[in-house]
Amino acid sequence: MNPIVLIVVIAFLGPIIGSALGVLKKPSFGYVCGMLCFAAGVMLAISFLELIPESLQLASAGVCIPGVAIGALAMYGLDRLVPHLHPSLCNQEQGCNLQRTSIFLILGIFLHNFPEGMAIASGEVSDIEASVVIALAIAIHNIPEGICTSASYFHSAGKRTEAFLLSSTTALPILIGYFLARWILKAVPPEVTGFIIAATAGLMIYITVDELIPNSCAGQDHRTIFTFVGGILFVMLLGMI
């Protein structure tokens, strides 16, 4: 399969699989925690072993450092501006389980997924395999989000198909962000590319520390530590291939 097609398929499937599970049968809480912790290990490893070194090589520390900071600050600002939820717990940060609130939560995930699509494209600058791994980690991260968005809407509206379709639309900004970033990265000088890659690392680190690790630890099961390490080793093993 063409690597670009594979990346698109992986990135698109995360929200769709999660949305389907949300209106059918939810996986166990421990399994969700394990998925999130594995994704956390993958995203941190990609950030520190692939993206930041690539940014330093293309530009300089003077470009990379503010890039990482701005990427993290951008995700923080987005987190504050739009409604969001903690996917492993399905707890809303704002409001209660009303139908209108569920729609706002879907909108929040929709907006959060755009920079994730850009992160997938940034991995291609380093290696096409890095882009595939980022797509996989983000897809794993988006499955619990899809579960929560579709389940909350289904619970409030009682419409299974509508809940699935609305929640599945959160896959669209991933694709838009991916193709837009691919086009931008081909048209800008190496210094700008280095800055964008560093910002991508910053936003991935923010997602990991703010959301994935706290939620994966909510299960209070020390076995999730090994899935986190497994995610890091997975990235390292791929780098040896």
DSSP 170: G
3-state secondary structure of 220: coil
How far, in Å, CA of 134 to CA of 128, rounded? 10
User: With 0-12 CB in 10 A as exposed, 13-18 as middle and 19+ as buried, what is 40?
Assistant: buried
How far, in Å, CA of 20 to CA of 112, rounded? 20
- Predicted confidence at residue 85, as pLDDT, reads 52
pTM for the full predicted model: 0.74
Q: Which two tokens stand for residue 85?
A: 């939820």
3-state secondary structure of 40: helix
- Predicted confidence at residue 35, as pLDDT, reads 77
- Can you give the pLDDT of all 241 residues of the chain as single tens digits? 677 888 889 888 888 998 898 888 766 767 777 777 888 888 898 889 888 998 999 889 999 999 999 999 988 888 787 655 554 445 444 444 445 556 666 776 777 788 888 888 887 776 788 888 888 888 887 887 788 778 767 876 778 888 899 889 888 988 998 999 888 888 888 899 899 889 989 988 988 888 778 776 665 566 778 888 988 998 888 777 6
- Predicted confidence at residue 12, as pLDDT, reads 84
CA-to-CA separations, 150 to 26, 93, 96, in angstroms, rounded: 11, 16, 15
Q: Of 177, 175, 157, nearest to 166 (Cα)?
A: 157
Q: Which two tokens stand for residue 102?
A: 């569920």
